[in-house]
Amino acid sequence: YQQSTMRDAIVAGLTLNIFNKHCDRVRMANIAQTINVLQAVILTDGEEMILTPTYHIFKMYKSHSENTLLGSFITTDYLEESKETPVLTESASINDEGHIVSTISNASLTEAKEIKCQIADFTVSSVEAEILTNDVRAHNTFSDKNVVFTKSFEDFTLTDDGFIAKIPPCSVVKFIVK
């Protein structure tokens, strides 16, 4: 197998945002293999098991499953190294309960980015969020299984029509807007 790092998690988040935004053409997408392979979600060693950063991304993004895609966009710059990769990517969907799920990835390794989320024709009563972030090389090991994990994210402020948030570098944040 190959170790999965936060870099892999960021790439997975960026890719899943693209797939979600093109769900009219991408009907299904999945990892070809899941355990002890490249970009695995789980690594095992005998009886032991660890969850990789990619696992946590897939767990975050399953909140989009069976939802309806919402039209959304984000204004962002591009990574200096590639000139073609956006620093921020996002996708948004709404579930049967009327809750909006928004996932935002920040591919910058050094800069936090402030976003202002404005939601048309929607009254925001509350927002919950979780984040996956760490150093780009960070990964879980059999001796330390909780180096990379999701945690509650609270660096946002509600506004009349949405919220303002500061997205840390090398992170993926999932918002649930009610």
pTM of the model: 0.94
65 SS3 class: coil
Q: Are 94 and 172 in contact (CB under 8 A)?
A: no
Q: What is the pLDDT of residues 34-47, one digit of tens each?
A: 888 877 899 999 99
- Per-residue pLDDT at 169: 98
Interval 46-69: pLDDT, tens: 999 999 999 999 999 999 999 999
Confidence grade of residue 5 (pLDDT, cut at 50, 70, 90): very high
More confident residue, 30 or 55: 55
Over residues 121-169, the pLDDT tens digits come to 988 999 999 999 999 999 999 999 999 999 999 999 999 889 999 999 9
Q: What share of the chain is helix, strand, coil (3-state, %, to 5)?
A: 15, 35, 50
Alpha helix stretches (DSSP H) within the chain: 6-21, 53-61
**What per-residue confidence (pLDDT) applies to 31?**
79
67-88 pLDDT, tens digit each: 999 999 999 999 988 788 999 9
Q: How much is the mean pLDDT over the chain? A: 94
The count of residues in the chain is 178
Question: Is 148:9 a contact under the CB 8 Å cutoff?
Answer: yes
Residue 39 is predicted with a pLDDT of 79
The two tokens of residue 153 are 């994210």
Do the Cβ atoms of 100 and 92 come closer than 8 Å? yes
Distance CA 70, CA 162 (A): 15
